[in-house]
Structure formats: structure tokens, C-alpha cells
Structure 1
């Protein structure tokens, strides 16, 4: 394909080339490519761009990065997104595009919590939110000595939550495995282009579950399959549309899993297991795992067009190689993956909006609206299936409507949806929206969701309840703790939640529930003893440690260490004392650490007390600038 070259001046040396204008306004997509990759794969890139334009209707802008500076790329993407006509809605990062390593933003990850005083490479998060979320503001910290990493601190001047303005995806081949990165890039672009020239309908889903996933809770996995029927109602009568595999279905399991992944017409694979950048831990008990070396040894060619890696580090695109890269650069038909660059939490809504794939929505759109700092599309974010007419009342279409018209849904209406919708995923959407809003009816939503018959929603309610910590929730929590048949994962999370509630009040509520149950329990004494024992063990476990800090009993080093724990382990009922101490604390390091702590607990029922204190500190001109900056950051996190 020939391009009409257009040179746009840019102080940092970017050259912008874009395709011929068309009369009708279109969604734009930026294809950002480094100089060498552009030269080495020009023909394949031209064909890819042509397919984007002619088959998917995008207006394509090819941005050739000649200086390898993230700031210059971000500035160009922002300009293309805000232009009046044919503004971009997404970006494809091709080749050796510099990697932003984000610091001071761990609260935007799902699970990554590391001391930032250790090695910068390990304690930073590789994240393309730098390129796609323009509400964030960053302070440059310099380039890595040897690697194409650029370190940035998230500042208090911008937003403190994620809301990407565009979607993005990484196509970053390396020379690992003995094949040139440019050979890999050319082959991948041919594959991605072929997927556009010969689009397919969504046909099938494969789910693999490794050992230790979601506490190996059978109700959790049963309800996962139930959710798939709501995500993909179009497949209800389709032969071989759904297939499932557990880690103990065979020994070894990796060969059976690879065979299933090589089915010719597999649309989507969702893989639950533990992971590292070079390993899929399928069965750690028997060391039955799939490594990069194993992938290459057995000539594994995954054909699932899209793959979700519900595993830590499998999407570490910044390294010389990673599992997600092995999938997309294989000779199979995998075009796009969703994967994390660092560790991820198990208790997340991993399949949120995935049903939209069957409706022709791009995988980039889905990642954009389920964003974590570490979550990325590895592969082509514009990949999309041909739309399949959805069944009436498709859950994911309803969820998308709720998302895109959120202002039309009052808190009262969302609570009513949570209480009455026959679709589990729609109820989960309503609960999630109320949680994100930190709604005034959040306690009512939690109490309702604790009794929901959808395991994932019940599990999320327990986790939100722990963050909230409201005394009003204690009676409902006590009823949950004294149920005789909780799922293993809900029970595990409930046990963990005990430590975030006033122990005396919880013991009283649990005793009241047990007193009403004793007449209908076999071996009542042992049951009651077990429940009371768990409350006794977990209740109030952090009180003395936190109070030792607030009573000035710790030296500087141990005070900072304790503050680090308190980012996760600080009950809501102690936050007012933390706020009061922070106000009088004179140790700048400890003061900033405690401001950071309060920013982690914006969901707490006592967060208003924290908000007053941090606002006062943010506007106190007598305080050092770095303390005021941390206070402002904390204030925005609580407000958001």
C-alpha cells in the first residue's frame, strides 16, 4: 500500500505519516513503530494498515518514533486524540517502543505491592497506561542504564484512578529463541492482517484451571461456567462451543492442554493458573508446567484467536521474552492476549465484558474498560470477530449500556438492579458500579450481595466489606461466618475479613447467630468452637502493631516498615487515630508513609475523617512541599 507522506513538525523528532483523507469521519487508530521495524517490515505494515482501513474502517495514522522518548510519543497520541476530525480511539505499539516503568502508583495495580527502595527494575510497573490514559500526570525519573526502560513517578497533579482515553496494545518481538525480531514481526503482521481479511465469527471457549486457582473452589468454577452462558448466549446450541479442563484431569496435563489449545477453530481460551514471565504453572504439585523452553521444544502452535492469561507475569512484555509473546509469535493463529506485566490478583472480574467479543467489539476496547496498571493487550488490540447477533437481553450488551450511560443510572436504580436482575453478570455490574462510585448506599449493596447466589458476586462483596469496615455490616457478616456451606474461596476471604472489624462487636454478633443455630446443628459444640476460634484468632490482630506506631514506640526503620504493612492491613476503625497521629507527626518520611496509607483506604467508612486531615495538610504552607504533595495525592485518591 502506498502512503501519502505528511511531515508534521515535532520538537522531539517524530515523523507522522498518515493515510489519504476520506470524506466521512471515522475512528482513528495510531500505529506507532520504531524506525528500524518500520524499515524492516514496511511491506507487511502497509498491508496491515490497509486492512485496518478497508476492512475495519479506521482512519490510520502511522507514527514513526525517531527519538525513542516516551514523552514525545504520548504527546503525539494526545494530539491525535483531541483533534476535531478522525480522532484516534486506540494505538498499536509496534516493535521497540520504549517501556514506561511507573512508580508511586501501586494502588492502581490489582496486587503488586513492593518496597520501592529496592531495585528500580523490580519495584516499578511496566505500564502502557502512560500512553493511553491522558488524565494521569508523570514526573520523569530518567532512563535505565542499559535497557529501554524509562522511569516515571505518578504525580498528584493528575488523576489517581485509571480511565484510559484510548485502547492500546503491544506487538514487541525480541530476538529470543534464535529467530530475529524482525522475522517474527513480519510473520505476526501477516497473521494479524489475514485475520482482518478473513474475519471469523466467535465459535468456542476453552477454560483451563490450574492448581490453587481461586482456592480450588468448586462453586466458584461452577458459577464461572454459568457466567459464560450469560457472556455468550449465542453459543447455547453450538456443538463443542464450551470445553473445560482441570489440572488433575490427566498426568501430565500440559500435553492435553496444548492439544486443546491447538484446535483449529478455537476462539477464546481463558487460562487460570499461577505464572511467571517464562512459565505457566499448570500443576505445581507435580512440576507439570509449561515453560518457554517446553513451548519451543514441542512446537506448540496455539490457535485460540484470543487468550486470557489469568496468571502473574505471563505478560511481562518488557523482558527479552514472555509467555504471551510466545503465543502471539508462534505459527499458530493466536492474534491477541490479555496478560499482566507483574503479578495479578485472583479475585478480580477477569471475564468482564468478554462476551462483547462475540458482538464484534475489539479486544482493545475490552481491556480499556477493565484497566489495571499492569494489564495489557499483547498483540493486536484492534482484533475483532465478525459480530454474531446476540440473544435478546444479552448480559454483556446490558453491562456495556450501563457502563456507557452510567450517568443515567442512579444509585437507587443500580441497587434495584442488584436486587432483582435475573442475570448474575448484570447484578455484578451494578454492584461494581456502586463500589466504584463509593455510593451512599454501598452498605446496602454489600448486605444484598453477601446473600447473592452468584459465587463471584458474593466473593466480591466479602472483599468490599473488608475494605469498608462499617459497623452496620457486622450482623450480615456474622450471618455469613456462621453459614454451614460457604464456598472455599468465600470462606477464605471471609476469614481474612475478620481482621478488619471491631473484634468485640463481631464476637457478640457471631454469638447471637450461633445461639439461634444450635438446635439445628449436628455436633453443635465443635461447629461453634471452630467459628468462635477463627474470630478469636483473626480479630484485632493488627491493633497492637498499629498502636505501637501511633504511640511512638517504634524507631524510624520499624515505623516505616509498619506503615508499609498498613497499606493493606489497617482496619477502618483505627484510621481516625492514624489520621490524628499523622497530623502531629514530625518525621517527614513517616508522615508521608502514613498519608500514603490513608490513600489506600478510600473505601473505608471512616475515610471522611482522613479526608479532612489530608486536606488540611495539603493546604498547610508551613509543611514541606513533598509532604503537601503526598497529602494532595492522598486527597485525590480518597475523593476518586
Structure 2
């Protein structure tokens, strides 16, 4: 019997070994000797379906001087794949990038919201599917440390991981990456979509194509609809894509105000042949590009009733004949979405405050208008079905929007642009919501210099930002000169092999080309030469280039040294709106009282810059009320404001109310008898609003061992957001003491460690 059991055991072991061997990944090496390598990761099923097309893509990349290694397998564990990638990465020559093709495990990351630009959903009170961030930083940043949570019950391709508290707390990817994930709801077989796309991507590598045709669009509600934002971006883009400004056809800047149903004009522009880059600054969802909003711009309403430019089934589209009719349609559609008390409250408000009649909300009227109201709503935004008939022409499309690159969904905007018909080979977007005030076009001029788009993405990477499509795509450098093309090839090589070589990048810094100078500042920050801080401040004060000054400010923000406050003071008076806006934002995070004067000046005298003024208004909440009030009075007294006393009264009243609100919030946090949900909600507000004056009180709550553990853990996490605070050292010292205190509960100790690691960077 014992012998039989041993034989059975051996057979089981043999079966497991054989099964593992059958599942072992296959590697196809590069076809020659190359300076750098690129990795294609593809699942076995997809490879078998598109072997011819992906081989053609591999050949195209190698003809472009990039050695391609192909990893083919079946992975049910992301960690196994990550380790296979790590093993390939460790070999030589250097692996500069990777693309994940087909059904590659999707990792949903938790406990790493500080690596996003804006995502702060409560991970405990919202479903895991909604409150996790889809991110390939799991694969391309090999230093990050994760712990497995679970596999998704509904989608076995999705896996949930926590970032470990002991892990590095900033993203620093070893290589660039992208996804090629065809939408499953497109109505065409995914492998057919993938094969068609790969041939398109391969063909793009054989082109001579300069970045000299660019289009930008600003959608409804983005950046507070500020026209200064829209206007100023043109100055920066001219520096980044100079060849697109040689004639009127090289560039276009569109705004939702230019048409009541702008989507149809965008259909035309997205299908315009020869377009190199199309950038959408907009709000978004995984299946929607928000274009005009609830109340369309009235510019042409009434002038072209019934007109439509739609190439799809909107030929029967209803277009209101007047602004009031458009408002009426929007009000009816909003009312239909409400139920119960909310619907009644909305109806009552519209009647009492806006003059609508009872008859307007009558069921008979709503039913009679339902069809045309539905057509109206369909014309406002772009949804996935709208995209299917279009033949997209831009080689590169960028979605500066929330959720448009959510490749974990069955269908997603970026995927429809890539895998649809046309010439688009790569898009960039985000898998969750994104900060409107980030510099989304940072270093985008790298594309004009012939740099692979993956290198650009790697330089601006966040947890949520991703390329969808071919990350090795690049335009031809310059506008026809061989020297420029050769310089572009050299630049790619140096980014791959010498990104930390300060001598090389100091030479680029000497260039008169703003793109190269800005890129040099970013590369120098990775291995700063002596005097780098002085160089940044000098550059910020003296450079005439918008993008060079903005890059210098960003690097000073990261360094967070003795020059930062002075740079923020100067930044609040910079001619570039984006610099002023970011200076106002980081003034709030700093709390240094020297910043009160320029912030007050902004809220009093910068009405034309709504987004800057909004940031400055919020920033002043974080400063001493008496000092803010006195400076408002002083600056108004020396001004030509017509209603000076009224302005003083309104602003002081506002900031007094805000101060009371924050005082009440602190009282809630300190009150052990208050409901924990309310205390935690008040604490979570500190992640966006670093209230420096309250730090001492907050640390007392954190140290109180008799207080609720969950409250203390939430507070320890919130204090990790005070990276630029004047109280940062005090916070770090207190956290270190708690970490070294043997009586600190282990769960709290881990959160304290994570905040220490976050605050100790920069």
C-alpha cells in the first residue's frame, strides 16, 4: 500500500511539473544586435491569432533600430509575469520599454492614491472595483512593493493589490510601457481589431512624418471655462511645436463655445488627413467625452435651425432655435433624472426662482417633448457608438480627461480611437479622474524633437496615466533637415542609456531650443550637479520661455528647498497663466506668510484668470484670518476699485465663515464623543486642504492612545499629504517618535511608516 501511495504521489508531482512546463512562457529574442531592446508581452491566444501581424510589427521596430524581444505566455498571476519581465529587464542591452498586448492580467492598485493627481475615493466605503486604480506601474516600476488582496470575482483577468507601507512611495519607472487592449464591445472580433491595428502601427514606422499639424480642443467646464487658460496654452504650444506655426493650417485651437453642438465639428477635425496630434482638454468618463455640457453655447443657436454635420445617425437630430429653448430642454432632461423629494424640490426651485410655469413640468408636456429632448441630449457629448463610424486621422491623440483610458472596461474612449479605422496609432489618457490643474502638456515638445512617445510618458508618469497603442511611435525630428533627424535618433539613445549623465544634459541645457532646455532640466533633476538649485532659480527668473520657466518651477517644487517660497512669490506674478495657477496651488500647500500678499492681490485684481483666482481664493483659507483680512484692507485702500468697502466686507465675511468652518472641523476631529464617520470625513478633508495652523492639535489627537484606532490611522495617512507645509519637520519628528514607540499599535505603526516615507522625499 505504501508503494502504491508513493507511486500516486510521484504521478501527481509529475502531472504538476508537466502542467507547469506546458504553461511556461516562450521567448522570441531580438533579431540582431541593437543598442536597446523593447519587450512585447502577449498572451498565447492572441499571439496565435495575430502571429503574422505582430511579427510584421516586430520587424518594423527592428528596422527602426530597436531590438524586440517577445514574451508569449498564459498568466493567471501578475506576480509571475512581473518576475519574468524583471528577468528580461536585467539582461543587456538595456530594455527601454514594453507593450502589453491582448489579455494580460490587469492590476487594480490600492493604498497608493498619493501617486495619482486627484483620485481620493474612500477605499473602505466604496466598492473595490470603483475605489481601485488600474495601473501598469505594477509592471514598469519594479522597485514598488505590493501585497496581494484578491482576484476579481466577475473578471478573472483583474487582480487587486495594496502598495506596501514599506515600499518606495513615489513612481520611478524603469521603462516606459503601453497597452494594446482591444475593446470587447466594439462589435468586431478583438483579434481582428488587434491584427488590423498592428499593421497600421507597423506602417507608421516607415513614414517620414514631421510634427507640424496639431489641434487642441477645450471642452465645457474644464479649467473653469477660463479663456485665459485657452489663450495662454497657444504661447506654450508654439514653443513646443514651432513647425506647426509656419502657416495657418499647422495649428488649430477649438473651444466648446464655438458651436452649440461642437461634437460634429470635432468629427470633421478628427477625420482631417495629415493631422499629427489632437489634444482633448475635457471632462470624461470611460465611455464619454464631455463636449458642450447641459447648456450649449448660444453663439449660433437660431441661425441654423435643424442643421447637423453628423456623419452618423443624427441626421434627424433636434437643434433648438434659441438659447431659451436650449435651457428649457436641459431643465426638462434634468427633471426627468430626479425622483421623489429631490424631483419636487427641483421643480419648486425652478418655478419660484426662475419663473418656469406649472404647465412646463406637467406630464403631458414632458411626454410630448421627450423625443426631441432625447435627440438634444445625444448631440451634446461624444459617446462610444458615435466613434465607430469615424476614421481617425491624428497619429497621436491625448485625452486630458478623467477615465478615457480605462482599459479595464469592456469599451473605453481611447480604445475606440486606437482600434477604429483610420491612422491613429497611440493615445494617452487616464484610468481614473485626473487633476485639471496639472501640466498635462509637460515636455510634449519631445515629440517634435523625434523622441519616442514612450519616453515622454515615462517623464510625466502618474499612477493613472497610460499610453494605449504603440509606445515606440515617434515623429521625424525637425522639418526636413537630416541633421535634425539624426539629432532625434541620438536623443532617443541618450534617454535610454544616459538619462542620469549630468554632463550630457548640461550640454542640452545650453541649447536655445526650449524643448531641449526643458528636457535637460528634468533629466538633471535625476542626478543633480553641484549648484543645481541655484541654476533652477536663475532659470526661472531669467528665461523668456514659458515652458522652460514652468519646468524650472516644477523642479523647484520637487526639491522643496530654500528657493521655493521666493519662486512661488515670483510665480504668482508670472505672465504664464499655468505658472500663476500652480504657484497659487502650492502656496496653499506651503503656508508661508510671505505668500499672503501676492495671493490677496490675485483675488482682488485678477478677475480675468478664473482658475488662478479660484486657486488663490482656496489657498488663503490656509492662512491666518487676521493677517489675510488686514492685507485685503491694505490693498483695497491703495487701489482704484470702485466698490472698495463692499469688496472688503464681502471677502472678510467669506474668510471669517471659512475660518469658522475649519474651526468646527477641528473640533469634530478632537471630539471623542462625535460619530467616527464624521471625524474621519473631517480628517480626509486635510488631504486636499493642508491646514498648517491646526497641525499641533492634530498631532495631539494622533498621539492619544485612548482615542479610536481607526481615527488615528486615518489621521496618520492624512498628515502624509503635508509635503510642502511649513510644519513638515514637526510632523516628521512626531511620526518618527510614534514609529519608534513600542506601544504604538502595529496597524497604526505601518501607516505612520508610510507617511514618514512619503514626507521624506524632496
Aligned counterpart for 1:617 among listed residues 738, 742, 753: 738
Equivalent position of 1:22 in the other structure: 32
Equivalent position of 1:555 in the other structure: 675
1:349 paired with 2:439, answer yes
Is the 2:208–2:475 Cα contact (8 Å) retained in structure 1? Answer: yes
Equivalent position of 2:330 in the other structure: none
Indicate how the Cα distance of structure 1 residues 50 and 21 shifts in structure 2: closer, same or farther if over 3 A, else same: closer
Aligned counterpart for 1:120 among listed residues 108, 128, 131: 128
Cα deviation, residue 575, structure 1: 1.8
1:58-77 aligned at under 5 Å gives the runs 58-77=66-85
Measured against aligned partners, the alpha-carbon deviations of 1:250-290 in whole angstroms (never above 9, x if no partner) come to 23211111101111100001111111111111011244111
C-alpha distance in 1 between matches for 2:192 and 2:78: 25
1:627 paired with 2:724, answer no
C-alpha distance in 2 between matches for 1:373 and 1:499: 29
Measured against aligned partners, the alpha-carbon deviations of 1:374-427 in whole angstroms (never above 9, x if no partner) come to 100011111111111679622121111111122025222211111111001111
Equivalent position of 1:3 in the other structure: none
1:155-234 aligned at under 5 Å gives the runs 155-234=164-243
Q: Scaled by the length of structure 2, what TM-score is found?
A: 0.79
Q: What secondary structure, in the 3-state scheme, does the structure 2 residue paired with 1:176 have? A: coil
1:290 paired with 2:385, answer no
Q: What secondary structure, in the 3-state scheme, does the structure 2 residue paired with 1:248 have? A: helix
C-alpha distance in 2 between matches for 1:577 and 1:552: 14
C-alpha distance in 1 between matches for 2:118 and 2:24: 36
Indicate how the Cα distance of structure 1 residues 560 and 532 shifts in structure 2: closer, same or farther if over 3 A, else same: closer
Indicate how the Cα distance of structure 1 residues 165 and 606 shifts in structure 2: closer, same or farther if over 3 A, else same: same
Measured against aligned partners, the alpha-carbon deviations of 1:530-554 in whole angstroms (never above 9, x if no partner) come to 4434433434532221232124342
C-alpha distance in 1 between matches for 2:212 and 2:545: 22
C-alpha distance in 1 between matches for 2:474 and 2:161: 33
1:329 paired with 2:414, answer no
Q: Unpaired runs of 5+ in structure 1? A: 1-8
Equivalent position of 1:244 in the other structure: 253
1:79-478 aligned at under 5 Å gives the runs 79-83=87-91, 85-117=92-124, 118-147=126-155, 148-285=157-294, 286=296, 287=377, 288-296=380-388, 299-388=389-478, 393-406=512-525, 407-408=528-529, 410-478=532-600
C-alpha distance in 2 between matches for 1:50 and 1:496: 54
Indicate how the Cα distance of structure 1 residues 522 and 623 shifts in structure 2: closer, same or farther if over 3 A, else same: closer
Identify, as 1 or 2, the structure richer in helix.
2
Cα deviation, residue 127, structure 1: 0.5
Equivalent position of 1:605 in the other structure: 726
Measured against aligned partners, the alpha-carbon deviations of 1:22-73 in whole angstroms (never above 9, x if no partner) come to 34x5211110001100110011011111111112x11211111322321122
Q: Unpaired runs of 5+ in structure 2? A: 1-18, 297-376, 488-510
C-alpha distance in 1 between matches for 2:145 and 2:663: 36
Measured against aligned partners, the alpha-carbon deviations of 1:202-243 in whole angstroms (never above 9, x if no partner) come to 121101111111111111111101111111123331441111
Q: Scaled by the length of structure 1, what TM-score is found?
A: 0.94
Cα deviation, residue 135, structure 1: 2.2
Is the 2:669–2:680 Cα contact (8 Å) retained in structure 1? Answer: no
C-alpha distance in 2 between matches for 1:428 and 1:182: 43
Is the 2:600–2:616 Cα contact (8 Å) retained in structure 1? Answer: no
1:49 paired with 2:58, answer yes
C-alpha distance in 2 between matches for 1:22 and 1:13: 27
Q: What secondary structure, in the 3-state scheme, does the structure 1 residue paired with 2:40 have? A: strand
Is the 1:232–1:358 Cα contact (8 Å) retained in structure 2? Answer: yes
Q: CA RMSD in A?
A: 2.0
Cα deviation, residue 18, structure 1: 2.8
C-alpha distance in 2 between matches for 1:583 and 1:524: 46
Q: What secondary structure, in the 3-state scheme, does the structure 2 residue paired with 1:283 have? A: coil
C-alpha distance in 1 between matches for 2:659 and 2:249: 48
C-alpha distance in 1 between matches for 2:242 and 2:22: 50
Q: What secondary structure, in the 3-state scheme, does the structure 1 residue paired with 2:205 have? A: helix
C-alpha distance in 1 between matches for 2:20 and 2:576: 53
Indicate how the Cα distance of structure 1 residues 540 and 348 shifts in structure 2: closer, same or farther if over 3 A, else same: farther
Equivalent position of 2:40 in the other structure: 31
C-alpha distance in 2 between matches for 1:349 and 1:626: 36
C-alpha distance in 1 between matches for 2:603 and 2:660: 16
Is the 1:495–1:534 Cα contact (8 Å) retained in structure 2? Answer: no
C-alpha distance in 2 between matches for 1:585 and 1:295: 57
Is the 2:690–2:725 Cα contact (8 Å) retained in structure 1? Answer: no
Indicate how the Cα distance of structure 1 residues 508 and 552 shifts in structure 2: closer, same or farther if over 3 A, else same: farther
Is the 1:231–1:394 Cα contact (8 Å) retained in structure 2? Answer: no
Equivalent position of 1:5 in the other structure: none
Q: What secondary structure, in the 3-state scheme, does the structure 2 residue paired with 1:177 have? A: coil
C-alpha distance in 2 between matches for 1:399 and 1:68: 42
Cα deviation, residue 486, structure 1: 4.5
C-alpha distance in 1 between matches for 2:604 and 2:733: 37
C-alpha distance in 2 between matches for 1:576 and 1:279: 45
Indicate how the Cα distance of structure 1 residues 627 and 186 shifts in structure 2: closer, same or farther if over 3 A, else same: same
C-alpha distance in 2 between matches for 1:577 and 1:434: 30
Indicate how the Cα distance of structure 1 residues 543 and 151 shifts in structure 2: closer, same or farther if over 3 A, else same: same
Cα deviation, residue 14, structure 1: 4.4
How many residues align? The count is 625
